[in-house]
Amino acid sequence: MPSVVARPAPAATSTASPLSPRRPSISLLSRNIDTVILGNVEFETWYYSPYPDSIILSSENPPTNLRNGELNGRTLSPSADSAASTTCRVLHVCPYCFRYTPHKLAYVVHLRHHEQLRKQDFDLPPVPASAMPVYSHGGYSVWEVDGETEKLYCQNLSLFGKLFLEQKSVFFDTGGFLYYVLTYTPPEHTFKSNATNQEHLHGDGREDLGLKTEVLGFFSKENPSWDSNNLACILIFPPYQHRQLGKLLMSVSYKLSGWEWEGGVIGGPEKPLSVMGRRSYLRFWSERIARFMLGESADADGRKVFDDGKKRKGRKAAVMKKALTVKEIGERTGMLAEDVVAALTEMGICEMMTPKKARLKKGGEVNGVGRTAAVTGKDVEEDVVTMIVKRSKVAEWVQKHNVDLHDPVREAGFIGEWAMSEAETNSEDIEMEEHDGQ
């Protein structure tokens, strides 16, 4: 799958007039930081981020009054930053709290503070104490952080994320957002990182910094979202991309929208999407529909599209024909109708049939789209566009694109209000064992 964020071409330089009283668009500003060091990993930045110049460009005068591992990263306001005229060569970013400094000495002192905390509690995760776990499976965990409660953490996380996101506008007013932070904890005593293109500050990896668990990325969403968006922005940090982690976060965002339950919301990511964002979501939506069509993951009703549900001795269940509107597919996958259409078009698995006349009563629906009859209340005729999707076409698409039909997240991994009942969890485990035994 293409990464949620792929490395772009070099950023354009500013074209604003020097006499203009307004600053140039943030999307046109040149990078103001060359590289970042996150924990013990150094990598290049891609875009400008509005870190305050007074801090990141003060490399000649390192602070001398550090207390309790303090670093820059105070609560900021939009007026705290200014247009970058020069560049910070290296910015050190704390892998625990995302505070930042251009000074290596201050960075080392700050990390020692976190190391002391983790000597007292080795399992302390690199997220704020108020963070709530919502998912945990296979070493991967997702934590919910309230942008109102943890403003400083979320501001620093947003500033760091902007270094790799071209279209991100919320950095300081985080109170209206929830942040979902992805972490990974490897098996005990295996502290070798799999990230590529890394340069370590010293030693052989994370154990030098006490990093048992590391942050890999995050997504955010409005709280609440009046447009039913389940995601505002998403980022997997560059060293950890191309590992299907973007799909994992996308799946979590759909689960947390509660679309399967009464009163839940069927939604999608905030639009318009960036070029890379749309490409990633089209692949995610297409795979989601393929799993639904082939019955490899349960939909809201636990039904399979191409199976009549009758088991016959010595042979597989009979393939059946089933009529579904676009809206019904969306309701059984948690997707918006427009996203279903976009995915089916991208997959190229539909055969169009000649439109037929269908009688429609007032307030009825055709293909999942509500239509209103004439004011007279009489029945009207509508042209119904029918598409045929064959199981063989779906299977061919899956094989051609090397799609894993298992969902990126395991239902049993969700925690708290998002967890399934014990019966449902046991049922899923049995189905997985049967699948693995085939």
| Single-letter code of the amino acid located at 271 | K
Q: Are 36 and 90 in contact (CB under 8 A)?
A: yes
Instruction: Please report which helix (H) or strand (E) contains residue 270, including its range.
Output: none
Q: Are 381 and 357 in contact (CB under 8 A)?
A: yes
Q: Decide if 270 is catalytic.
A: yes
Residue 128 CA to residue 131 CA, distance in Å, equals 5
Is the Cα dihedral 78, 131, 100, 3 positive or negative?
negative
Residue 180 CA to residue 174 CA, distance in Å, equals 13
Q: For 34, list phi and psi in degrees, rounded to 5.
A: -75, -55
- Strand, coil or helix: 315: strand
DSSP 335-393: --HHHHHHHHHHHT-EEE---EEEEE-TT-EETTEE----TT---EEEEEP-EEE-HHH
Residue 218 CA to residue 178 CA, distance in Å, equals 10
DSSP class of 312: B
| Single-letter code of the amino acid located at 101 | T
CA-wise closest residue to 183 among 93, 101, 95: 95
Name residue, tokens 């191309």: 242
The catalytic residue among 42, 207, 260, 270 is 270
Strand partners, 143: 133, 181
Residue 146 CA to residue 132 CA, distance in Å, equals 9
DSSP 123-158: T--SS-TT-EEEEEETTEEEEEEETTTTHHHHHHHH
- Structural Rg of the chain based on CA atoms: 25
| Single-letter code of the amino acid located at 92 | H
Residue 323 CA to residue 344 CA, distance in Å, equals 15
Active site residues: 270
